[in-house]
Structures are given as C-alpha cells and as structure tokens.
C-alpha cells in the first residue's frame, strides 16, 4: 500500500476522499452535458470541474 504512505492517508481517509471526488466529478459531468445542450445553464461548469482537481490535491 505504498500509495497510501505516499499521500499520508489511512485506507478509510483515502476511500472517503476518492468517493467524494468521484461524486463531485460525476455531478460536474452531468452539468457539462446539460451546458453543452443548453449553453445558458451551468455557464461556469467547465471552470468549476477543472478547479475540482486543484481542490483535492494532496500536499
């Protein structure tokens, strides 16, 4: 489990963080699909989805 040591997390901390990120990316995907069809909705969806990655970086 070298990855857990690399990121300094326990198994469950890593699990929760991965699930949260997955859920947020899933919601962003839906927003981006809606924005693609109806450009007037979720105008910042792409920018917000890209920001998610930065928000979840482990230092």
Confidence band for 7, pLDDT divided at 50, 70 and 90? confident
- Tell me, what's the pLDDT at 58? 57
What tokens were used for 56?
């979840």
Phi and psi at 18, nearest 5°, equal -65, -40
What tokens were used for 3?
């990855």
d(CA 34, CA 20): 21
d(CA 16, CA 10): 10
Q: What is the mean pLDDT of residues 8-30?
A: 91
pTM over 0.75: no
Phi and psi at 42, nearest 5°, equal 50, 55
d(CA 26, CA 3): 24
């Amino acid at each position: 489990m070298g990855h857990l040591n690399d990121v300094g997390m326990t198994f469950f901390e890593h699990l929760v963080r991965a699930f949260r990120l997955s859920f947020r990316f899933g919601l962003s995907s839906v927003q981006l699909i809606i924005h693609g069809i109806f450009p007037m909705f979720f105008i910042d969806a792409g920018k917000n989805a890209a920001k998610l990655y930065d928000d979840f970086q482990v230092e």
